[in-house]
Amino acid sequence: MKFTEDLSTKTLNTITGYGKDYFAIREHKVTTSHIVAPKHLENWPVHDISELTLELISPLLSLSPEILIFGTGEKHQFPDKEILKLLIRKRICYEFMDTMAACRTYNILVGEGRLVVAGLMLNLNA
């Protein structure tokens, strides 16, 4: 059996490290909340789940995800019910989890070739 190197991790945004106050995208340390997709990286002005609005999920939806992952900081939290209703109406799979779990899940889904977008919150003032 012949093995070949998976080059996707060299060309796609993968999370190569994380901690309480940061995550790393392809070895670049990030210390603010970001939207992360395999070929997209953008600063995201959401630091806490209470700040999440329909308008602030619009940039994630514009990337046409198959799956949306929300990292909610140190604790697993849920957004306002209007956000959940919108995601259900748009028939988008979603999951809310703590940010470290979201980083791990994002990498698994990228490795599977899924169209995943993550909104990763770093709530450093919490």
**Residue 93 is part of a domain; what is its CATH number?**
3.40.1230.10
111: in domain? yes
95: in domain? yes
126: in domain? no
pTM of the entire predicted model = 0.88
Domain holding 38, by residue range, is 8-120
Q: Is the pLDDT of residue 10 over 90?
A: no
1: in domain? no
Where does the pLDDT of residue 26 fall: very low under 50, low under 70, confident under 90, or very high at 90 and above? confident
125: in domain? no
| Domain total of the chain | 1
- Residue range 57-69, pLDDT digits in tens: 999 999 999 999 9
Confidence at residue 7, expressed as pLDDT on a 0 to 100 scale: 47
What integer is the mean pLDDT of 98-121?
A: 96
52: in domain? yes
44: in domain? yes
Where does the pLDDT of residue 2 fall: very low under 50, low under 70, confident under 90, or very high at 90 and above? very low
Q: How far apart are CA 72 and CA 5, in angstroms?
A: 33
| Burial class of residue 120 (count of CB atoms within 10 Å of its CB; 0-12, 13-18, 19+) | buried
Confidence at residue 9, expressed as pLDDT on a 0 to 100 scale: 55
3: in domain? no
Confidence at residue 113, expressed as pLDDT on a 0 to 100 scale: 95
Beta bridge partners of 29: 24
Q: How far apart are CA 122 and CA 6, in angstroms?
A: 30
Mean confidence (pLDDT) of the chain: 90
